[in-house]
């Protein structure tokens, strides 16, 4: 029962993590451009420090979690991000908002290296577990637009930060009550270079073939896998940030019959994110059944198709394109986490995830000025062409992954 409650709270934490990071994106697009009399491209730059903190503190958070307590770091996450959110409700200028968003990003950085490491360690079906957890994160992205629009229309934009901040603090105390008081210690690790594991495989006809010996001294294999993970992580960060942060503005410009209604724009964004979450569940299920490389290539190809569709899409076609590229963009998220989980030792997992999410989120921070510059000078059609090129690059990088026989099984490797 306690383990189930922990898993639920870890999922809720992922929901809140992305929700808090994107409240400002909707506020900037729908309210603050008028209230603070700034251009959209100029205003969204004030979110940059938050995303820099979101990436810069991921690795220190993972290191501290491995050295101190992952569960303790989750309590810090809930309470710290809640207090930072309440502070954002008290600001009166873009600069003050930027400072508040920095602290939201600082505490939000805790989740991915710490929370996902806990999820990977708790479930045998790592693909589905990470996908379910990822859906919660995606719903946080979706609800950021929907809930923020609701607060705008019913209680004012400041109430979004206050209500959600209080909720997070309450959940922090709840997590403290259910977390283990003494974290289980990892089993002693064997010396690098001598660990081997027998991996049974099946042929295309379903017959069991000769077991494959994974020589974990083969550092070349690890280098190849991590090179693919980190490079596709960077490109995936660009895609994820550009689509999630800009979607409310994209819809406001491309959907002419709802462009003056904040709540309807929020609903359409929610629909696109919800469909993306369904795609992530499908990918998570497939990762436990189908070779990782095949799934990865399919997802990357779908991104290319839907981004190219979005270049000139308006109204109904723009909604279809948004649903498609969100489905494919969100579907990529669990793939890299599962790869890390399958080739890294548990005691190093938070630090490796910390590196991965540092790369992701630093790219995400850099994507904000990119979005601003492209929107101001060329429009969103050029942005979608850039994203299509990034997705095509991911496709060709994934072609270099090792064979499915090694990637479709859990292994413990020196990292």
Round to whole Å and give the CA distance between 222 and 150.
47
Residue 130 and residue 121 in contact, taking contact as beta carbons nearer than 8 Å: no
pLDDT tens, position by position, 196-238 = 333 333 433 444 434 333 343 356 767 777 788 788 888 888 8
- Between 255 and 36, the more confident residue is 36
The backbone torsions φ and ψ at residue 29, rounded to the nearest 5 degrees and listed phi first, read: -75, -35
- Write out the two tokens for 32: 């603050």
- Write out the two tokens for 152: 């705008």
- Between 215 and 374, the more confident residue is 374
Residue 387 and residue 321 in contact, taking contact as beta carbons nearer than 8 Å: no
- Write out the two tokens for 376: 């101001």
Share of the chain above pLDDT 70, in %: 81
The backbone torsions φ and ψ at residue 6, rounded to the nearest 5 degrees and listed phi first, read: -65, -45
State the pLDDT at residue 413. Answer: 40
Residue 381 in this model has a pLDDT that exceeds 50: yes
State the pLDDT at residue 318. Answer: 84
Give me the domains of the chain, ranges plus CATH numbers: 2-182+214-407 (1.20.1250.20)
pLDDT tens, position by position, 316-364 = 888 888 888 888 888 887 887 777 767 666 666 677 777 777 777 677 6
pLDDT tens, position by position, 237-293 = 888 878 877 787 788 888 777 656 667 777 787 788 788 778 878 888 888 788 888
Round to whole Å and give the CA distance between 305 and 300.
9
Round to whole Å and give the CA distance between 289 and 102.
40
Q: Which of 89, 85, 119 is nearest to 105 (CA)?
A: 85
- DSSP 8-state class, residue 187: P
Mean pLDDT, the chain, integer: 78
State the pLDDT at residue 287. Answer: 80
**Distance separating the N- and C-terminal Cα atoms of the chain:** 33
Sequence-ordered alpha helix ranges (H) in 68-125: 70-88, 94-108, 111-122
State the pLDDT at residue 259. Answer: 56
């Amino acid at each position: 029962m306690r383990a189930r409650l922990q898993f639920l709270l870890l999922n809720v934490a992922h929901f809140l993590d992305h929700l808090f990071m994107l409240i400002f994106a909707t506020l900037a697009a729908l309210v603050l451009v008028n209230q603070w009399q700034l251009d959209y491209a100029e205003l969204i730059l004030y979110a940059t420090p938050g995303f820099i903190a979101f990436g810069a503190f991921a690795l220190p958070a993972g290191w501290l979690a491995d050295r101190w307590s992952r569960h303790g770091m989750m309590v810090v996450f809930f309470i710290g991000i809640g207090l930072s959110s309440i502070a954002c409700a008290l600001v009166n200028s873009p600069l003050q908002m930027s400072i508040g968003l920095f602290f939201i990003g600082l505490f939000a950085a805790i989740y991915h290296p710490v929370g996902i490491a806990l999820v990977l360690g708790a479930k045998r079906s790592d693909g589905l577990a990470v996908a379910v957890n990822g859906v919660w994160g995606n719903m946080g992205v979706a609800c950021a637009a929907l809930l923020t629009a609701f607060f705008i229309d019913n209680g004012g934009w400041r109430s979004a930060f206050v209500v959600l901040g209080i909720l997070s603090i309450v959940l922090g105390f709840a997590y403290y009550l259910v977390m283990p008081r003494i974290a289980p210690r990892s089993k002693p690790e064997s010396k690098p270079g001598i660990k081997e594991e027998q991996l049974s495989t099946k042929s295309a006809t379903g017959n069991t073939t000769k077991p494959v010996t994974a020589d974990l001294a083969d550092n070349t294999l690890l280098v190849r896998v991590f090179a693919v993970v980190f490079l596709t992580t960077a490109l995936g960060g660009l895609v994820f940030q550009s689509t999630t942060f800009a979607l409310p503005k994209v819809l406001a410009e491309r959907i002419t019959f709802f462009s003056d209604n904040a709540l309807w724009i929020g609903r359409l964004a929610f629909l696109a994110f919800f469909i993306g979450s369904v795609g992530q569940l499908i990918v998570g299920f497939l990762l436990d059944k189908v070779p990782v490389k095949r799934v990865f290539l399919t997802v990357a190809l779908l991104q290319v198709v839907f981004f190219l569709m979005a270049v000139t899409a308006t109204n109904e076609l723009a909604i279809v394109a948004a649903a498609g590229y969100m489905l494919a963009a969100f579907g990529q998220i669990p793939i890299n986490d599962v790869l890390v989980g399958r080739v890294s030792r548990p005691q190093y997992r938070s630090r490796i995830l910390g590196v991965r999410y540092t790369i992701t989120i630093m790219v995400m921070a850099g994507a904000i000025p990119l979005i601003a510059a492209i929107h101001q000078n060329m429009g969103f059609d050029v942005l979608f062409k850039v994203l299509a090129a990034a997705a095509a690059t991911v496709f060709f990088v994934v072609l270099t992954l090792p064979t499915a026989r090694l990637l479709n099984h859990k292994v413990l490797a020196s990292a």
